Amino acid sequence: MLLSELLVLAAIAVGLLPIGILALWVWWHRRTDRRRSPLTTELHNLPGEQARREAERLAESAGDRLMIAVLVGPLALAAWALQKIDKHLLRFGPAEIALLIIVVAVACWAIWSAGKRLRDRWNYLDGIAAERATAQALMPLISKGCAIYHDIPTGMFNLDHVVVGPDGVFMIEAKSRRKPAARGKASAEVRFDGKTLEFPGWRETKMLDQTRAQTRWLNDYLYRKTGERVSVKPVLALPGWFVSNSVLSPDMHVINPKMCNFMADSKGKPLSEPQRRRIMAAIEECYGGSGS
């Protein structure tokens, strides 16, 4: 009987071990990752936000129960079958070794794949929070005569935000970078020298290149749609960060989105109202899938 009981426990362990390892990894990751969210302001609720959160909670709860439903049948069947096997017939040969290798390989792949998707999900959630914080900071510009668009599809990528101001258009890319665990002003400051972003402990250029590339796309798109050259200015928004610019006139703006009032200032030749309407109509076309 002892052997049968051990086999039953082994069958249960094979089914539950991958889930246990993944849960342990999630716990360890959250315990050891001391970085802080960069956001310093409370995000306003979107329409239906409370209902959306409750729907997500119910979906996660349903997923947990479906996992139990999926596992309980095979585990019970394995436990029942193992008790019926004559222990004298049990052997561990090449076929069993190959099967064990396959099971372990599939389990390791599933754990790695699930972990990667969880990390991607956390990054997406940080990105969503950054976009919402930026949209929230841009909202007062509407009362100053600006038109604001969010999450504009282009067919290849999305433009996070576009502001049509009095004398030009601003393409705003919102990014989230977590702050280090250490507190203090130095931990919340990013320096921009016109070419590179220097965060506490690391340097980046990729997000600058992305912002410039998307601005060029919007510039070309508006020219194709309106037949007029439009001044599209690139803006990189870093919610929660204090941005220190070491150059007087960079080719792009890197800002905390709270410092966005300059978009409503009229410093150059203002756009005529017909041109503004053509620009806004072109941007709105993108939501219909014609951003090409």
- Domain count of the fold of the chain: 2
The answer to whether residues 115 and 148 belong to one domain is: no
pLDDT for res 248: 66
152 and 116 belong to one structural domain: no
Looking at the fold, whether 156 and 232 belong to one and the same domain comes out as: yes
Q: Are residues 190 and 73 part of one domain?
A: no
Spatial neighbors of 123 by CB under 8 A, at least 6 apart, are: none
Domain final position from 93, 118, 135: 135
Both 187 and 88 in a single domain?
no
Sign of the torsion formed by the C-alpha atoms of 174, 180, 184 and 190: negative
For residue 118, count other CB atoms closer than 10 A to its CB: 14
Is residue 91 situated within a structural domain?
A: yes
Q: Is residue 291 assigned to a domain?
A: no
What is the pLDDT at residue 118?
80
Residue 17 lies in a domain: yes
**C-alpha torsion sign, points 167, 171, 176, 177:** negative
- What does the pLDDT profile of the chain (292 residues) look like in tens digits? 455 555 556 666 666 667 677 677 777 776 777 677 777 777 776 767 788 778 888 887 887 777 777 777 777 777 777 677 666 666 667 876 787 788 778 878 887 888 888 888 888 888 888 999 999 999 999 999 999 999 999 988 999 999 999 988 999 999 998 888 777 777 889 999 888 999 998 999 999 999 999 999 999 999 999 999 888 999 999 999 999 887 766 688 999 999 999 999 877 788 899 999 999 999 999 988 656 6
292 lies in a domain? no
Domain that holds residue 161: 144-286
**Rounded-to-integer distance, Cα 130 and Cα 177, Å:** 9
How far is 234 from 232, CA to CA, in rounded Å?
A: 7
> Do 95 and 163 lie in a common domain?
no
Judge whether 215 lies within some domain.
yes
Q: Which two tokens stand for residue 156?
A: 């290849």
* DSSP letters spanning the chain: -HHHHHHHHHHHHHHHHHHHHHHHHHHHHHHH---B-S--SPPPPPTTHHHHHHHHHHHHHHHHHHHHHHHHHHHHHHHHHHHHS-GGG----HHHHHHHHHHHHHHHHHHHHHHHHHHHHHHHHHHHHHHHHHHHHHGGGGGGT-EEEEEEE-SS-EEEEEEE-SS-EEEEEE---PBPSS-SGGGGEEEE-SS-EEETTEEE-HHHHHHHHHHHHHHHHHHHHHSS---EEEEEE-TTPEEEE-SSS-SSEEE-TT--GGGG---SPPPPHHHHHHHHHHHHHHTTT---
Looking at the structure, tell me whether residues 85 and 178 fall in a common domain. no
Say if 75 falls within a structural domain: yes
Out of 79, 101, 135, pick the residue that ends a domain.
135
One domain, residues 172 and 130: no
Q: Is residue 149 domain-shared with residue 282, that is, in the same domain?
A: yes
Domain boundary among 135, 159, 194: 135
pLDDT of residue 21: 73
Q: How far is CA 243 from CA 35, 43, 82, 190, 263, in A?
A: 19, 21, 64, 5, 17
| Same domain, yes or no: 215 and 263 | yes
Within 8 A by CB and 6+ apart from 44, the residues are 136
Same domain, 112 and 170: no
Cα separation values, 20 from 103, 172, 192, Å: 16, 42, 44
pLDDT recorded at residue 187: 82
Same domain for 209 and 130 = no
Q: Is the Cβ–Cβ distance between 232 and 213 less than 8 Å? A: no
Tokens of 226: 């309106």
168: in domain = yes
How are beta strands 147-153 and 158-164 bridged, if at all? antiparallel
